[in-house]
Structure 1
Amino acid sequence: MPELPEVEVTRRSVAPVLEGALVRAVRVGAALRWPLGADPASLVGLRIGALLRRGKYLWLPLLGKDGAPQGGLLLHLGMSGSLALLREPGPPGKHEHFDLVTDAGTLRLTDPRRFGAVVWSPALDQGMAERLLARLGHEPFDPALTPALLHQGLQRRRVPVKAALLAGDIVVGAGNIYACEALYEAGIDPRAPANTLSLARCERLLQALRATLARALDLGGSTLRDFRDAHGMSGAFQDQAGVYGREGQDCRRCGTAVQRLVQGQRSTFFCPRCQRR
């Protein structure tokens, strides 16, 4: 699944081209998770404002001729979706379910499993966008997210710490790959009950999460199957992962074999020696 770094990499790859672009047409293909929520024809003639990201969602604000806000499109890539910015798009293929045609190129959503979404909302804090974003936790790089705040949030959870991170209502962006890596960097066993972590361990965890996500952004995210940015470039984070996808291989720190277990139907990778409960 595209996680926060992949979505941010996508945003960065399309924003310089799309911001200010004029919408010429909108094509809606097979149904995605939710309906568009607007007549596609009503979006023609609007301009795209400054693209934003919230968690794993992208927000494309739309502006009228006078620059007044006219709502916007909230996009989610689902389990296997990707966006491509095409100068000369061919006919849409079987899994290409949405086109936003502009004078700067066509933004095309490819989503084989159709778990993604493109929905119109009157504003980021209204309508469907408000409903989808309401329960998201702090952005990982938000200065307001302190170790004390993370500690406070985890104190209310008796589930394994990795599950608490994946829930996304304390901090967003710690998807499966990056939660495994951050816990490894912080030396915390993914099975440790969230409410047993001390403030000092929460401080290490927050530092590790930020460092892990920053490194992933620098490397263009992770490409495990088919992720590409909007210009077709693959990510390289997976090549430097400490534990993720390395079951049976030597830990890069201590040489102990990396182990794999399943938590909440997701694979978890960890070093049994470096990571303590």
Structure 2
Amino acid sequence: MPELPEVQSVVDTLCMKKIPGRRITGASVYWGKTIADMEPVDFCKKIKGRTIRQIIRRGKYIVFDLSGGLTLMIHLRMTGRLNWEFRDRPRNKHEHVILNVGATDTLRFQDTRKFGRIWLTGEPEKILDRLGPEPLEESFTIRRFLTMLHTTNRQIKPLLLDQRFLAGLGNIYVDEALWESGLHPQRISSSLTRHEVKALHRAIPHVLHKGLKNLGTSLGTGKSNFYLPGNRPGRNAEELNVFRRTGLACPRCRSIIARIVVAQRSSHICPTCQKKQP
């Protein structure tokens, strides 16, 4: 699933293509379930004629601020991606929603496994306000993080994956941050010392900034893999330390990286660097 660096890289790419300021001249929906909380015919009617004023990210959501008080929100889920194409290019079978932008261009939502969702709403806060703080904002301080961790008693891996706790993290960057900070994914949040919280607070932005610098993580070449608009893969897979490196040597201590399951999620750890007990 695309995480904060991948989603932000998509937003940055769309903005570089100067899409904000352009007008949506029409829409087509080929898989109705992609549109959440609205009939596809109503979606097509309501979005036509709207100007895209701004594109931002909140958590894992791509958020389009539209004219007329509406907001378009896209969640890529497992295999979603956005394609920016000329209108005369034939639609591929996995492109489920197509927005006509101006006279010649289209923004196409492609989703091989059909888990992604699109919302068109006048009340985006009903969804976005449920999300936790952004880990790259200045308001995400060590003191705030310490309070967040010590007021709950959950395993640290599933807690960091909970979008209501902290927005934007997924399996890749949680595994990387926990390795960076030397924490086992089954450690209980309230048991972390101030030193350990400080290390994790430092590790989370570090791995996210690295992912952003590399335009996200693409883990293969299949159609369901992450690609930026323009069909460019992310480069961050080459710099991962533990994620999907089972059986390889830990870059820090040369122990063999192991794969375990934590709260039904695959997790990758160094058994030497990340002790289960402090």
TM-score normalised over the length of structure 1: 0.91
Counterpart of 1:51 in 2: which secondary structure?
A: strand
Corresponding residue number in structure 2 for 1:147? 142
Letter in 2 for 1:273: T
Unaligned runs of 5+ in 1: 64-68
- Once the two structures are overlaid, the 10-residue window that deviates more, 177-186 or 83-92, is 83-92
Corresponding residue number in structure 2 for 1:18? 19
In structure 1, C-alpha distance between the alignment counterparts of 2:207 and 2:167, rounded to whole Å: 13
- Once the two structures are overlaid, the 10-residue window that deviates more, 106-115 or 35-44, is 35-44
Alpha-carbon RMSD: 1.6
CA-to-aligned-CA distance 1:19-64 (integer Å, 9 cap, x gap): 111111111121226244644123222211110110000111112x
Q: How does 1:29-178 map onto structure 2 within 5 Å?
A: 29-30=30-31, 31-32=33-34, 34-36=36-38, 38-63=42-67, 69-103=68-102, 105-122=105-122, 126=123, 129-178=124-173
The answer (yes or no) to whether the contact 1:86–1:106 under 8 Å persists in 2 is: yes
Unaligned runs of 5+ in 2: none
Letter in 1 for 2:60: K
CA-to-aligned-CA distance 1:107-158 (integer Å, 9 cap, x gap): 1001122211111111xxx2xx223222211101111111121111112332
Decide whether aligned partners of structure 1 residues 36 and 29 sit closer, same or farther in structure 2, where only a CA change above 3 A counts: farther
Corresponding residue number in structure 2 for 1:207? 202
Decide whether aligned partners of structure 1 residues 33 and 166 sit closer, same or farther in structure 2, where only a CA change above 3 A counts: farther
CA-to-aligned-CA distance 1:239-270 (integer Å, 9 cap, x gap): 11111111111101111001110112221001
TM-score normalised over the length of structure 2: 0.91
Corresponding residue number in structure 2 for 1:180? 175
Counterpart of 1:101 in 2: which secondary structure?
A: strand
In structure 2, C-alpha distance between the alignment counterparts of 1:21 and 1:112, rounded to whole Å: 28
Letter in 2 for 1:138: P
The answer (yes or no) to whether the contact 2:43–2:120 under 8 Å persists in 1 is: no
In structure 2, C-alpha distance between the alignment counterparts of 1:44 and 1:32, rounded to whole Å: 18
